[in-house]
Structures are given as C-alpha cells and as structure tokens.
Amino acid sequence: MSKDKFQAPDYYLLDELLTEEHKLIRDSAREWVKREVSPIIEEACQKAEFPKHLLKGLASVGAFGPYIPVEYGGGGLDQISYGLIMQELERGDSGIRSTASVQSSLVMYPIYTYGSEEQRMKYLPKLATGEWMGCFGLTEPDHGSDPGGMTTNIKKQGDHYVLNGAKMWISNSPFADIAVVWAKDEEGIIRGLVVERGMKGFTTPETHNKWSLRASSTGELVFDNVIIPAENIFPNVKGLKGPLGCLNSARYGIAWGAIGAAMDCYDSALRYSKERIQFGRPIAGFQLTQKKLAEMITEITKAQLMVWRLGVLKNENRATPAQISMAKRNSVNTALQIAREARQIHGGMGITGEYPIMRHMMNLESVITYEGTHDIHLLITGMDITGENAFS
Ligand code: TGC
Ligand code: FAD
C-alpha cells in the first residue's frame, strides 16, 4: 500500500465539541495507526494473518478497557474517548478495531460489570495490558440472531460445573487466553462464565477462507465436558440481558469505528480524484465525481454528529439500547455505501491493495452482520417506536 497520507475530514468543526484530552487520545491513536498499522495491514490481509505483534501497541494507546476504572488497569476514560479510539483503529482496519472491541466491551466489560471482585482482580489488569487476550462466545451454529435459543449448557456436579456445546464465528478465539462464554444452566437460565485455555476438553479451531476481516482471527469454541470451577461463573447476572448488555457497549464502539473506515475511503477518493487526470482535467472536476464526494462528506458529517451525541448520552447513562442500534446500523451502512462509491472513483486502481478501499469494503460486509445484522437493528428501532415485536 502507498504511504498513509490520511487527513481526517471535519466539515462541521466537530473538533470544537471535543475536550483537549479527547483530542490527545484521538491523535495518539491516529499517529499509532499511521506508524504501526498502515504499513503492514495490506500484507496481513493478503496473507490472512492477524498481526499479533500489534497487541502491545494497542494496549499502549489505551485500546483495551479505556473506560474500565484505573484500579483494575483500565484507562478510566469517558465514552467519547472510547469512541474516538475505535474510530481511529477502524480507520486503519476493522479487524484491528474488532480485536479491541472484543477485549474491551465483550471481555473486560462483563468481567467488570457482572464479575466478583476476585474475578475482576484476577483478569482485568492482565487484559488491560494485552498480556492476556479474551474472546466472547455467544453465537452458535444454529443460533445467530436469536441467541436466546442457545443450546450450550452447564450442569452442576458437586463443587463445579460441566460445560458442553459449541460456539461459532468467535473473533480472537484461536489465540485467546480466556473466553467469556454464555450457556444455559439446568433451569434453562443463561449464565456467563470464564473458560481458560488449557482446560481439558476446550478447543478453539480456526475458521479459514474468509474474504472479510482477513487480518482478524476467527474461530470456534468447542466444549466437551469441560470442568468449570464454580468461581468462574459470573455471580451478578442471569438471563439474556447479560450478553445483550455487553453488545450495547460493543455496538456503540462500532458506531464510531465504522465512521473511521468511511473517513479513510472518502479521504483516499478525494485525493485520488484531484490527482487523476482524464479528458485533460482532474476527475474531481466532473459533476458526477463531485456528487459522489459531496454525498460522502454529508453522510460522514451526519454520522459523526450522531455518534458524538450518543457518546454524550452514554456518558450520562442515558443512551438506550435502541439508540445504540440506530447508530450502529447507520454508521456501518453509511461506511459500506461510501466504500462502494470510493471504489468507483478509484476506477481499476480501486480493486488493488495500493489503496485501502476494497479491504474496508470487504471488512464492512462482516461489520454489517456481526453484533446484530442490519435488519435486526432495523427491527429493534421498529419495535422501539411502535411497541410491536416483529422478531418472532
Ligand atoms: P428479548 O426477549 O427482547 O430480551 C431478552 C432480555 O434481554 C433484555 N434486552 C437487553 N438488555 C440489555 N441490552 C439490550 N440491548 C437488550 N435487548 C434486550 C430484555 O429486556 C430482556 O430482559 P428480561 O429481564 O425481560 O429477561 O430477546 P429476544 O430473544 O427476543 O432477542 C432480541 C434480539 C433479536 C434483539 C437480540 O437477541 C439480538 O440483539 N440479536 C442479535 C444477536 C447479536 O447481536 N449477536 C452478536 C454476537 S457477538 C458478536 O457479533 C461479536 S463481533 C465482535 C467483533 O469482532 O467486533
Ligand atoms: P442469521 O441469524 O442466520 O441471519 C441470516 C439472515 O436472516 C440475516 O440477514 C438476518 O438479518 C435475517 N434474520 C434473522 N432473523 C430475522 C428476523 N427475525 N426477521 C428478519 N430477518 C431475520 N459472535 C460472537 O458471539 N462472538 C464473536 O466474537 C463474533 N465474531 C464474529 C466475527 C465475524 C467475522 C462474523 C462474520 C461473525 C461474528 N459473530 C460473533 C457472529 C455474529 O454475531 C452473527 O453472524 C450475527 O449475529 C448473525 O447471525 P448468523 O450469522 O447466524 O445469521
């Protein structure tokens, strides 16, 4: 890939809505992505390899547990800081943002929110530094959009539990040290628990042949009579609201993150359109190119405003799950449309690894499906405004 010349679009001067601390955090993540991610990401995607050497750097820019309190190793930051970090990481690559989303919102968040003090102290500090990596097992081969139908189960035997079942499509599972897993107990109640690598009967086969998120490692979680000590069960949550509560946090981060991918596509298309000469003039001078670029910056600006406001509401503990769904759906869909238009502006060059467009576009095809599909989020909005449940 050619040198990273990214310049962030800020058409409505949104920087003025950020504090000095927000800007420092954002700029340090931005610089790190330019220095460490951009030079290697294209090759990592081509080879379908997760660049594991980036983990320490991710920890150093505060990407692991930014809003977890400092006494547990987190950054103690607010929700807008979290969003800005996700935006910058996904500007680099959705797979890198995914790794940070899973660690922060799907592993550290449930341990912090639902875990015992012993569980917090045991896991959170090591997760914050990247010494331990985690993954999140909710989806099963037969239960994706309807996780409430899961069949993975725990049965109490004496002073421990026995875990059986399988999870599919699990980001980071092939190398994770621990897995936060959701399973039904003998009464059919969903419980959360921590499974540690090395426990007998626990395996994590890798999923190959992905055309999307190629720089992110995806796999399964297979549990064959795994013995789980009682102290690994989360004491403070029961039911589907446990995993769905984690998704609120991760979806919020994705709502910011996808805008990063959109910003990268727009920035690349704008620069290319000024440099590329056809019919004796830059293609930026053609009305049809301008229409594409003008619509891109309009949609980016709308999405930026939406997530900023959502961040304010989240800081005040007022953001509803349905508001988060709307933003996740809007940002990802916007980014995907922008990636497709940016690809057109780059002409044939748009399909090559010289530019980040095609990689973002392929990544976003996963992002629009995971953490709740485009249609599921639409139905969440529909239910919220009508009071009618159209899921089942
Ligand atoms: P439903 O009956 O509506 O709700 C069951 C209970 O959960 C509560 N609830 C929530 N709580 C917190 N946050 C939310 N967002 C919540 N939504 C619902 C609800 O109040 C109820 O509580 P209670 O106390 O009454 O029991 O559940 P349902 O079975 O009808 O399903 C609803 C639906 C479809 C919205 C939900 O299941 C859903 O969101 N499906 C999509 C599944 C999904 O997003 N999976 C993501 C897997 S993880 C992932 O993709 C990681 S990608 C990682 C990366 O690399 O970034
Ligand atoms: P399905 O639920 O089978 O949906 C198929 C289609 O049917 C979709 O278009 C959907 O919108 C539609 N549909 C389903 N129900 C309805 C309905 N009621 N009304 C209308 N339409 C409906 N999961 C984890 O637990 N942890 C992870 O770390 C994780 N990482 C992932 C990484 C990648 C790369 C991918 C691709 C997925 C990941 N997932 C993870 C799983 C992800 O959350 C699911 O793929 C997603 O929730 C959709 O489930 P599904 O693929 O089974 O699709």
d(CA 159, CA 270): 62
The protein residue with its alpha carbon nearest to ligand 1, atom 24, reads 241
Which tens digits make up the pLDDT trace of 318-369?
999 999 999 999 999 999 999 999 999 999 999 999 999 999 999 999 999 9
How many Å lie between the centroid of ligand 2 and the Cα of residue 26? Answer: 31
Q: Residue 71 is which amino acid?
A: E
In-domain check, residue 271: yes
The domain of 197 spans: 134-232
Ramachandran quadrant class, 181 (left: phi over 0; alpha: psi -120 to 50; beta: rest): beta
How many Å lie between the centroid of ligand 2 and the Cα of residue 228? Answer: 27
Which tens digits make up the pLDDT trace of 159-218?
999 999 999 999 999 999 999 999 999 999 999 999 999 999 999 999 999 999 999 999
Residues 122 and 146 in one domain: no
Positions of E strands within the chain = 134-137, 153-157, 160-171, 178-184, 190-196, 202-203, 218-229, 277-278, 281-282
Residues 251 and 380 in one domain: yes
Residues 221 and 255 in one domain: no
Residues 54 and 106 in one domain: yes
Query: What is the percentage of the chain residues whose pLDDT exceeds 70?
Result: 100
The protein residue with its alpha carbon nearest to ligand 1, atom 39, reads 372
**C-beta of 18 in contact with ligand 2 (< 6 A):** no
d(CA 144, CA 164): 18
Which tens digits make up the pLDDT trace of 296-312?
999 999 999 999 999 99
Residues 67 and 139 in one domain: no
Beta bridge partners of 282: 277
The protein residue with its alpha carbon nearest to ligand 1, atom 1, reads 240
**C-beta of 254 in contact with ligand 2 (< 6 A):** no
pLDDT band at 1 (very low <50, low <70, confident <90, very high): low
d(CA 365, CA 211): 9
Active site residue 371: yes
Q: Where does 67-197 have alpha helices with state H? A: 79-92, 94-101, 109-114, 117-129
Residues 306 and 334 in one domain: yes
Is 283 in contact with 342 (CB distance < 8 Å)?
no
Could you say which ligand is closest to the alpha carbon of residue 240? 1
Q: Which residue has the tokens 């026995």?
A: 162
**C-beta of 381 in contact with ligand 2 (< 6 A):** no
